[in-house]
Structure 1
C-alpha cells in the first residue's frame, strides 16, 4: 500500500535546508506532495513579501526529483482540508512547529523533523541585503 507524505513551506531563497527536509519527507513514503505558501500567506506569517514569487517558488519545488505534486497553500486554517484532499498518510513539518499540528493525528501520522543547523532563509536574506 502506498503512503502519501505532505509537507508545507514558503521555500523562499531555496537552500540546502529546504532540500534536506524535502528529501527526508520523501523518504517517509512513496509519494510526496508539497504545499507552497501563497505570497499573501507568507506576508501574513512573516510580515514581508517573499523574494521569489509564488509561481517561481512553485516551479523550483516542482522541479525537484523527490516531489510528485505541488500546490499553493492559501491559508493555515485549510491545513486539514489539504491533508484530506491529497490523501495524506503522513504530515511532515519542521521541529520549529513541534506540537502545533498534533490535532491532525486523527487523520494521519504527524512527524516533526529537526531543522538543518545554522541555515535560515531570513538570515540569508538579511546577509544578502546587508541588513545583518
Structure 2
C-alpha cells in the first residue's frame, strides 16, 4: 500500500483544494491530510481562519478519497508526521517548491501545480467586495 501525506489550512473550501486532494490521492492508496491548527495558521499568515480547526478537519474528512485527518501543530514537525503516518510520498502545492526537498530522505516529495486563478485569499477578497 502506497501512503500519501499532504498538509494545508483548507479554509473556505474551493475547487483548488478538491483538485489537489484528488491528485494527491491518485498517487497512492491511502491519503492522510494534516490540517494547520488555528495557532499555526495565525503564525504563518497573521490571520485567523474563517472556519475553526475542528470544522476544517470535519470538512476535509468528509471528502471521498481522504482516509485520515490530523492537526498539524508545527511546520517543523513535518518529518515526524511523515514517520508517524508512515508516508511514502509527501505532496505539497508548487508554491512550496523546493522548501521540503530535505524530506527526500524519509519519502518521495512531490509538488503539484495549484489551480490557476483560485485561492482562499482571492475568494475572500471577492466576497468582501460585494459585502
For the criterion TM > 0.5, the same-fold answer is: yes
Which consecutive unaligned segments of at least 5 residues does structure 1 have?
A: none
> Deviations for 1:56-104, whole angstroms, at most 9, x for unmatched residues?
1000000001100000000001000000000000000000000000000
Aligned to 2:92: 93
C-alpha displacement at 1:129, in angstroms?
1.9
Alignment partners' CA distance in 2, 1:130 and 1:40: 27
Distance in structure 2 (CA, Å) of the matches to 1:95 and 1:46:
18
SS at match of 2:127: helix
Alignment: residue pair count: 130
| CA distance in structure 1 between the partners assigned to 2:71 and 2:52 by the alignment | 12
In structure 1, distance between residues paired with 2:23 and 2:125: 27
Local SS of the residue matching 1:130? helix
- TM norm structure 1: 0.97
TM-score normalised by length of structure 2: 0.97
Shift of 1:130: 2.4
Match of 1:104 in 2: 103
- C-alpha root-mean-square deviation of aligned residues, in Å? 0.9
Gaps of 5+ in 2: none
Residue matched to 2:52: 53
